Amino acid sequence: MNIWSYVIRRLLYTVPIILGVCLIIFIIFNLSGYDPAQILLGKHATAKQIAEVRAELGLDKPLIEQYFDIVKSAFTFDFGRSWASKQDIIEMIKEGAVPSLTLTFPAFLISTVISILLSLLVAFFRGTFIDKAVVVKCVGMMSIPSLAYILFFQYFFAYEMGWFEISGYEHGFPNFIPYVSLPIIIMVIISLGPDLRYFRTVILDDIYQDYVRTARAKGLTEKVVLLKHVLKNSMIPIITYVVIQLPFLILGTLLLESFFSIPGLGGLTVKAVFDNDFPVIKAMTILSAMAYVIFTVITDILYTVVDPRVRLK
């Protein structure tokens, strides 16, 4: 099948998925029993004030019309204005995307490369003390909550030692580097445990396959077997794991951005929750779902690049 035909067909398949996601979002936000107008105005608001706000926010429309407003926003990216700040939501998202990416993309790239290299190393020394020590270290790192890493590093390295900026952000390269350096280090450390453990499992699964024994029988060294054969054949699960994480990079990290006052999408989402800013929360939810669906299609296409045996159907 032609790759473009496959892409178009898969994108068409995403339409009912997005409609279903919009329905779930509509049910959660509109039929949960809470009146957003009442929440915005407070408990002392009069019935007249509540009615005026409901009309202003479009909450007095028929339910089916409110649902199609959500569907329309998903396909047009017109999410309206924030209830709290009155700003255009798509502009708020554009402004927050850059700070989020300056934090998440370098951390993601560094942690992925280090994890794959260390996974090959422990696979080379499989069953030895080095392998067991790395596994124990990974489990230990995964057992510590993310918040503990953030609080410790921020207090010790930023506040006590003064090596990094405690919080804030400046736009433009290289102005933002001092502000995202420590969050990037924290994000790499948090990601390293689960990434390394997963990549190690994938690589070890391939090491015991028949083709590896055949390669060794031909006289190939262990390094050549690992790099040329095992790593290449392990790329499909690795690509799946890596690409599916990309939507979350775009959407930022809630805790890191909040604690370091980075004006990214994660911080935007947290602020929207505290402000009961339902349009912003709905916009971020819709974008999360759509990004996940799109990157799933990209994952399927990449399979054919790393493994010619995979065919698009």
Three-class DSSP labels, 253-273:
CHHHHHHCCCCCHHHHHHHHH
- Distance of alpha carbon 195 from alpha carbon 191, whole angstroms: 6
The model's pLDDT over 233-247, given as tens digits with 9 standing for 90+, comes to: 777 788 888 887 777
- Distance of alpha carbon 260 from alpha carbon 262, whole angstroms: 6
Residue with tokens 């207090």: 155
pLDDT of 285 reads 82
**Is residue 305 pLDDT above 70, yes or no?**
no
At residue 289 the predicted structure's pLDDT band, cuts being 50, 70 and 90, is confident
- Distance of alpha carbon 258 from alpha carbon 262, whole angstroms: 7
Residue with tokens 């926010």: 57
The model's pLDDT over 47-68, given as tens digits with 9 standing for 90+, comes to: 777 777 777 777 777 878 888 8
Residue with tokens 């009912």: 16
**Is residue 41 pLDDT above 80, yes or no?**
no
pLDDT of 128 reads 80
Residue with tokens 């554009």: 94
The pTM of this model reads 0.78
Q: Are 203 and 123 in contact (CB under 8 A)?
A: yes
- Compute the C-alpha angle 236/239/243, nearest 5°: 150
Nearest in space to 190 (alpha carbons), one of 132, 244, 130, 256: 256
Report, as an integer, the average pLDDT of 72-87.
82
Q: What is the full DSSP assignment across 35-71? A: -HHHHHH-TT--HHHHHHHHHHHTTTS-HHHHHHHHH
The model's pLDDT over 269-279, given as tens digits with 9 standing for 90+, comes to: 888 878 777 88
- Distance of alpha carbon 30 from alpha carbon 24, whole angstroms: 10
Q: Hey, what are 26's tokens?
A: 């509509």
DSSP conformation class of 154: I
The model's pLDDT over 103-161, given as tens digits with 9 standing for 90+, comes to: 888 888 898 888 888 888 887 777 788 878 888 888 888 888 888 888 888 888 888 88
- What is the pLDDT of the chain when averaged over all its residues? 80
Residue with tokens 């939501």: 89
Q: Are 37 and 54 in contact (CB under 8 A)?
A: yes
pLDDT of 35 reads 66
Domains of the chain: 3-76 (no CATH), 89-306 (1.10.3720.10)
Q: Are 90 and 78 in contact (CB under 8 A)?
A: yes
At residue 97 the predicted structure's pLDDT band, cuts being 50, 70 and 90, is confident
Q: Residues 6 or more apart from 310 whose CB is under 8 A from it?
A: 236, 303, 304
Q: Hey, what are 116's tokens?
A: 């794959």
Q: How far is CA 4 from CA 149, 194, 293, 295, 312, in A?
A: 45, 35, 17, 16, 10
Report, as an integer, the average pLDDT of 206-230.
76
At 307 the three-state DSSP class reads coil
Q: Hey, what are 189's tokens?
A: 């450390």
